Structure 1
Amino acid sequence: MENLLRPVIVIGASVLLTLALGWATDRLLHRADERHHDTPLWGLLRRGRVPYQLVLCTALLRGSYDQAKLLERHQVGIGRLLTLVLIGSAAWLVIRIAGAVVETTYSRYARAHRDAARVRRVRTQVELIMRVVSAIVIVVAISAMLLTFPAMRAAGASLLASAGILGIVAGVAAQSTLSNMFAGLQIAFGDMVRIGDTVVVDGEWGTVEQITLTFLTVRTWDERRITMPVSYFTSKPFENWSRGTPQMTGTVFWHLDHSAPVEAMREKLRDILRESPAWDGRAHGLVVTDSTPTTIQVRALMTARDADDIWTVRVAVRERMIAWLVAEHPYALPRVNTSEAVLPPRRLPSADGGAQGSSVSVSFRAPHRR
Structure 2
Amino acid sequence: MTFIRRYITPFLIILLAIFLPKFNLPFIQNSENVHYVMRKISSILFIIAITWTIIVLLRVFKKNYLENYDLNQEDNLQARKLYTQFNILERIIIFVIITIAIGSGLMLFEGVRKFGLSVFASAGIAGIILGFAAQKALATILAGMQIAISQPIRLDDVLVVEGEWGWVEEITLTFVVVRIWDKRRLVLPTTYFIEKPFQNWTRTTAEILGTVFIYTDYNIDFDALRKELTRLLENTPLWDQKVNVLQVTDSKEFSVEIRALMSAKNSPEAWDLRVYVREGLIKFIQQNFPNSLPRTRVSILNDFDKKTEIKQS
Q: Does residue 276 in structure 1 map to residue 233 in structure 2? A: no
Alignment partner, residue 285 of structure 1: 245
Distance 2:97 2:56 in 1: 11
Residues 230-288 of structure 1 show CA distances to partners (whole Å, capped at 9, x for unaligned) of: 11111122111111122211111122223333222111111111111111111211122
Shift of 1:289: 1.7
The Cα shift of 1:301 comes to: 0.8
Corresponding position of 2:16: 58
SS of equivalent residue, structure 1 residue 195: coil
Decide which moves more: 196-205 or 251-260.
251-260
**Which residue of 1 is the match for residue 100 of structure 2?**
140
| Structure 1 counterpart of 2:143, one-letter code | A
Give yes or no for contact 1:198–1:242 (8 Å, CA) kept in 2. Answer: yes
- Report SS of the residue matched to 1:309: helix
Deviation at 1:198, TM superposition (A): 0.9
Which of 81, 86, 89 is the aligned partner of 1:126? 86
Deviations 1:172-198 (A, max 9, x none): 112222222222122112132111111
Partners of 1:163 and 1:184 in 2: how far apart?
Answer: 20
Residues matched between the structures, number: 308
- CA offset at residue 328 of structure 1? 3.1
The answer (yes or no) to whether the contact 2:104–2:116 under 8 Å persists in 1 is: no
Query: Could you tell which deviates more after superposition, 102-111 or 295-304?
Result: 102-111
2:303 matches 1:346: no
TM-fit CA distance, 1:157: 6.6
Instruction: State the AA in 2 paired with 1:346.
Output: K
Deviation per residue, 1:93-123 (Å, 9 max, x gap): 2211111012212324669x99621221111
Mean alpha-carbon deviation: is it higher for 92-101 or for 44-53?
44-53
> Cα 1:317–1:287, aligned 2, differ >3 Å: closer, same or farther?
same
Deviation per residue, 1:154-179 (Å, 9 max, x gap): 55577788665433111211222222
Q: Distance in 2 between matches of 1:155 and 1:308?
A: 55
1:189 matched to 2:146? The reply is no
Q: 1:334 matched to which residue of 2?
A: 294
How is 1:101-116 mapped onto 2 (pairs within 5 angstroms)? 101-108=61-68, 116=76
Tell me which residue corresponds to 2:194.
234
- Given that residues 246 and 307 in structure 1 are in contact (C-alpha distance below 8 angstroms), is that contact kept between their aligned partners in structure 2? yes
Alignment gaps of 5+ in structure 2: none
Aligned residue for 1:255, secondary structure, equals: strand
CA distance in 1, matches of 2:94, 2:149: 18
Aligned counterpart, 1:200 = 160
Give the distance between the partners of 2:307 and 2:272, measured in 1 at CA.
Answer: 57
| Structure-2 separation of matches of 1:207 and 1:332 | 39
Contact 2:20 2:38 (8 Å CA) reproduced: no
Deviates more, 1:324-333 or 1:90-99: 324-333
Report the alpha carbon displacement of residue 78 of structure 1 after superposing the two structures with TM: 6.0
State whether residues 280 and 304 of structure 1, in contact with CA within 8 Å, keep that contact through their aligned partners in structure 2. yes
Q: Which has the higher contact order (CA 8 A, sep 6+)?
A: 2
Given that 2:217 and 2:256 are in contact with CA atoms closer than 8 Å, whether structure 1 keeps it comes out as yes
SS in 2 for 1:148: coil
1:48 maps to what in 2? Answer: 6
Report the CA distance shift for 1:230/1:103 in structure 2 as closer, same or farther (over 3 A): same
Greater Cα shift, 88-97 or 222-231:
88-97
Deviations 1:59-108 (A, max 9, x none): 2452333x235534883556544543443343222211111012212324
Closer/same/farther in 2, CA of residues 197 and 114 from structure 1, 3 Å limit: closer
C-alpha separation in 2, matches of 1:167 and 1:205:
38
Say if 1:62 and 1:83, in contact at 8 Å, map to a contact too: no
Q: When the two structures are superposed, what TM-score results if normalisation uses the length of structure 1?
A: 0.73
Q: Is the 8 A contact 1:128 1:211 kept in 2?
A: yes
SS in 1 for 2:197: coil
| SS of corresponding position for 1:272 | helix
Give SS of 1:213's match: coil
Look up the equivalent residue of 1:68 and give its one-letter code.
L
Matched residues in 2 for 1:110 and 1:248: separation? Answer: 20
User: Partner residue of 1:175?
Assistant: 135
Change (3 A) 1:79 1:261: same
Q: Which has the larger radius of gyration?
A: 1
In structure 2, distance between residues paired with 1:323 and 1:301: 18
Letter in 2 for 1:221: W
1:272 & 1:208 partners in 2: Cα distance? 32
The Cα shift of 1:224 comes to 1.2
The code of the aligned residue for 2:216 comes to L
Judged with a 3 Å threshold, the aligned counterparts in structure 2 of structure 1 residues 68 and 61 are, in CA distance, closer, same or farther, namely: farther
More moved, 124-133 vs 330-339: 330-339
Instruction: Tell me if 1:100 matches 2:57.
Output: no
| 1:298 maps onto 2:251 in alignment | no
Amino acid at match of 1:58: L
Q: Percent identity?
A: 33
Q: TM-score, normalised by structure 2?
A: 0.84
Please give the alpha-carbon distance, in whole angstroms, between the structure 1 residues aligned to 2:155 and 2:143: 15
Q: Please tell me the root mean square deviation across aligned C-alpha atoms, in Å.
A: 3.2
